[in-house]
Amino acid sequence: MKMISWNVNGLRACVNKGFTDIFKELNADIFCVQETKLQENQIDLDLEGYHQYWNYAEKKGYSGTAIFTKKKPISFTTGMGIEEHDKEGRLITLEFEDFYLITCYTPNSQNELKRLDYRMKWEDDFLSYIKELDKNKPVILCGDLNVAHNEIDLKNPKTNRKNAGFTEKERDKMTALLDSGFTDSYRHLYPDTTGVYSWWSYRFNARKNNAGWRIDYFITSSRIKDKITDANIHTDITGSDHCPVELVIDI
C-alpha cells in the first residue's frame, strides 16, 4: 500500500501550481494533506476513485487537513476529543480493518516560541490519544509534525537550537513518542542519510541552497515496522514550501 503526505500550504494555491497532476502521477492508495487553508465548500476537487475526508479550522484561511483514500474506511473522526485542540482542523483519523491512519498538522511554536507552552500540552494529549488507539490496532501517523528530531534532520542545527521546530522541548517530545512504541519510517530505512529535507523557507533561497528541515513524517507502530518496504521524500516536487513524503507498507 502506497501512502503520501503533503503540507500543501494552501490547497487552492497548490491546485494552481499543478496539484491535480501531481496527485494523479503519485497514484497513492491514500493521500493526506495538511494546511489546506479552506472552509467547507471552498473547493471542488474531482479526484475520481477516491473518498474524501476533511477537517476545517474555525478560523478562515488557516490550518486544515484532508485525506483522500481509494478504500473506504470503517470510521472517520476529526480531532482528539479535546475542545481546546479541535478548533483548528489539525487532525483526522481513519479506521481501517488492520490499522488506524492519522494525518496531523502539529501546531507551530511560532516566533519567539510564544506558542511553545500550548504546543507542549498538544504533544502530551496527542501522545495519549495515539497510544490509546495503538492498544486496539496498529497506527500509521503522517503529517507535518513541525519538528526536526535530530541534527541530521536539518541543514543548520547549531544556529536553530532555540528556534521553533528544533528546541530541546520539541525534540524531547518526538523522542518520547518514538520511545512509546513508534518508528520513524524514513530513519528506519535510511538511518544515516543526510541532506534530504521536506521543508524549506521561502526566504534566503533556502530551497535552491537545500537549507531545509525534515519535519514531515510517516510514523508507524513499531510492531509493524518490518512491513515497511520503502519511504521516500519527493524533493523534486514543487507547489508548496514542503514536498510530499511517501510510505510503502505491506499491510
pLDDT tens string 40-63: 999 999 999 999 999 999 999 999
- Closest residue by Cα to residue 5 from 76, 86, 65: 65
Q: What is the pLDDT of residues 198-250, one digit of tens each?
A: 999 999 999 999 999 999 999 999 999 999 999 999 999 999 999 999 999 99
b vs e for 84-97, b when ≥16 Cβ sit within 10 Å of the residue's Cβ? ebbebbbbbbbbbe
Phi-psi region of 230 (alpha: psi -120 to 50; beta: other; left: phi over 0): beta
Which pLDDT belongs to residue 208? 96
Q: What is the pLDDT of residues 117-165, one digit of tens each?
A: 999 999 999 999 999 999 999 999 999 999 999 999 999 999 999 999 9
Query: Across the chain, what does the average pLDDT equal?
Result: 97
Which pLDDT belongs to residue 203? 92
Q: What is the pLDDT of residues 80-123, one digit of tens each?
A: 999 999 999 999 999 999 999 999 999 999 999 999 999 999 99
Q: Among all residues, which ones are annotated catalytic?
A: 105, 144
